[in-house]
Homo-oligomer: A and B are copies of this chain.
Amino acid sequence: MSRRVNISDVAKEAGVSTATISYVLNHKATESISAETEERVYAAIKKLDYVPNLSARSLVSKRSNMIGVVIPQTEPGKEFMFSNPYYGEFLSNVEYTARKNGYHVLISGTEANQSYINVAKNRGLDGIVIVGMYPDEFYMELKQSQVPIVMVDSYCNEHYFHNIGINDRNGGYLATQHLINNGHHKIAFVSGKIREEGVNYKRFLGYQDAMKEAGLEINPSSIYTGNVSHEYGIEAAKLMIENGQNETAAFVTADIMAVGLIKGLKQQGQRIPEDVSVVGFDDVYLANISDPSLTTIRQNIAEKGNLAAEVIIEAATNKNMTKRDIILPIEVVERQSVRKL
């Protein structure tokens, strides 16, 4: 196994110094290299099939050209980050934009015992994209670090981080209002765990806003919370029927749950939307696959991913960039799961 070719092999081949190689590789504007030398260098690189060692580069330049993406485990203690397609779509777009800009993406689930900030330091990550909510300690640690951070879908109060998200409260409002406008009064709220500073809480506030505005009463028994999963959607359907609250509609804060709810409701002999109307949230492709297709709150997940990558890369490049707070637009997408009463 022949030794890997390094910069001085190239230097020798091109008849220049290693510094020169480095200059042409990094397009140093400060150093001017004659076109002829540059050509020789490129020729040598090609001839020897030279590929720079990024570890060495990171070591001296303190830049890794890697960004980290932290995705929540939807079910605590489980290894699956991706039961919700939302994350897959988000991640693939982060990766795409990062790659286009010469960055690689290191993914990680969250580990209770090992702090992520260590990973960041270990690897010299240039920035971190964090999706969702985490325990407070997590944010405390993060604040200590010098690493640029973009929070996505979090209302964590720290004004320290860049933020990308949507107006979740408004989303909850729009969804509920849509149901109310269609004549529904008894509206269930189905959601993942409601945590302060989490998106579900905001969406819940929006739900309340709409209900109050319409002079409707919120029935505590019509609030169902559990895991953000298809399974819990089915479970919630069961609970709805057992509860006997006779809701005619449900606002579900994630499409994956909404689809589960629909499935569960059907299993309970309900027809959608004839007996129960359902509005989801996210507009992942599941909303289209569902039968009936799901009326939902659309947010542009791909755009969220692209922006997250752009912002973190800019933050990595420009240390004193002003704090970003990006709110992406949302809208109601009407499909077949809501009936006018």
Contacts and interface: CB of A to CB of B under 8 A. Distances in A.
A146 B58 CA distance: 23
Nearest to A82: B88
B93 A124 contact: no
A92 B79 contact: yes
A40 interface: no
Nearest to A102: B114
Contacts of A302: 79-80
A285 B290 CA distance: 13
Interface stretch (A8-16, A163-171, A258-266): A258-266
Interface stretch (A46-54, A217-225, A274-282): A46-54
A259 B293 CA distance: 13
A96 B78 CA distance: 9
A288 B286 CA distance: 12
A109 B124 contact: no
A230 B198 CA distance: 31
A106 interface: yes
Nearest to A74: B92
Contacts of A53: 59, 121-122, 124
Given A266-B291, A289-B290, A79 B106 contact: no
| Complex copy number for this chain | 2
Nearest to A262: B291
Nearest to A121: B51
A106 B105 contact: yes
Contact of A54 (B79, B108, B124, B285): B124
Contact of A95 (B81, B119, B259, B288): B81
Contacts of A288: 230, 263
A221 to B, nearest CB: 27
* Top 10 A-B residue pairs of the complex, sorted by shortest distance between their CB atoms: A82-B88, A79-B96, A88-B88, A55-B58, A51-B121, A81-B92, A55-B55, A291-B291, A82-B92, A54-B122
17 contacts: A51-B118, A53-B122, A54-B55, A54-B122, A55-B123, A79-B96, A79-B97, A80-B93, A81-B92, A91-B107, A95-B107, A96-B109, A105-B106, A105-B107, A107-B107, A263-B289, A289-B290
